[in-house]
Structure 1
Amino acid sequence: MEIKNINQLSDQFIWQDKVGLMTKSLGEAGGNRKIYVNIDYVPPGTYSTRYHSHSQQEEFFLILSGTGTLKLNGEEKEVSIGDFIGKPAGENIAHTFYNSGNEVLEILDVGTNEPEDTCYYPEEDMYMHKSNGEKRCFSGKDISNTWYPDPNPIK
């Protein structure tokens, strides 16, 4: 084990999109396997993620700097430095942060690394299922309610 510094992470542990949203994967850089520990940097006028819930992944968020809005199960709540929320898995608790402030919204994002998880995106009625290292996305309208794995269905 070695001590690492958040300001000296190699590029493999930093993700950034075209609008400046950035995630530093501290847990991965430190060798964690069962949990992830990220710092998310959300520029003014942008979202941290698409609005979604998890079937298996439990999460915890702490606002480190800036101000913003947490959309949680359809309700919008203002957040600022020191605010935190724990989000248990499997309860259809949809969430996203929006930076409604003038400075970068910095969020400590901690959660469980789950080999199996389904994210549901209610605004788009889309699912992303993660299993065996693969991700599959599908629309809620594509879900079959007539197929079952019974090997001997009654006709």
Structure 2
Amino acid sequence: MRKINTNQMEEISWNSPKGKFRGFGKEVSEGLGRKPGSTDLRERHPFDVEILRIAPGQIPYPYHSHSAQWEFYHVISGTGTVRHAAGRTPIEPGDAFLFEPGQPHQLINDGTADLVVYVVADNPIGESNYYPDSDKWAVRSPERRVIRSEALDYFDGEE
């Protein structure tokens, strides 16, 4: 059995070059031994678990969909909004929701406290992402390539 205490895990942070996107997280699966970026099934888990924290007024990622990945979300604390193909839906503690492949989504903390969400993804090999707002694709590889018809920076067209 592998066991960790997420309260003792270091929180990572990320932000886009111009600051439009910012988030914090604890990569629980990596804490349990998953090797990031590995395509060796013995070194990866069948799902990824993250504790995502979004500060008030922040958006962690651009609006995007996945080609193969399912994502399950469970709100632990705080309030916010999920942007999706049908519009926007408010979220609060206890809410659980699911996005299947091809469904664009984005979490937004428009509340006054940190929004904390458990994220569970099924971690498929060969995953790519589509970004409707900037009409580009990200293809997962060791170098993470973002393309339209030429290679692009991840945040190109987002800020």
In the other structure, the counterpart of 1:30 is 32
Between structures 1 and 2, the one with greater strand share: 1
Between structures 1 and 2, the one with greater helix share: 1
In the other structure, the counterpart of 2:156 is none
Q: Does 1:124 align with 2:134?
A: yes
In the other structure, the counterpart of 1:149 is none
Distance 1:81 1:7 in 2: 19
Say which SS state the counterpart of residue 144 (structure 2) adopts: strand
Q: Does 1:84 align with 2:93?
A: no
Distance 1:119 1:40 in 2: 19
Say which SS state the counterpart of residue 140 (structure 2) adopts: strand
The sequence identity of aligned pairs, in percent, is 29
Q: Does 1:100 align with 2:97?
A: no
Distance 1:46 1:74 in 2: 21
In the other structure, the counterpart of 1:65 is 77
Distance 2:2 2:129 in 1: 34
What count of residue pairs does the alignment treat as equivalent? 135
Output one character per residue of 1:69-102: Cα deviation in whole Å (capped at 9) or x when no partner: 000115111100011111122xx21001100100
Q: Does 1:15 align with 2:12?
A: yes
Counterpart code for 2:144: K
**Structure 1 spans left out of the alignment, 5+ residues:** 144-155
Q: Does 1:138 align with 2:135?
A: no
Counterpart code for 1:129: V
Distance 2:12 2:134 in 1: 24
Bigger Rg, which one: 1
Runs of 4+ aligned residues of structure 1 deviating over 6 Å after TM superposition are none
Distance 1:48 1:136 in 2: 19
**Structure 2 spans left out of the alignment, 5+ residues:** 35-44, 151-159
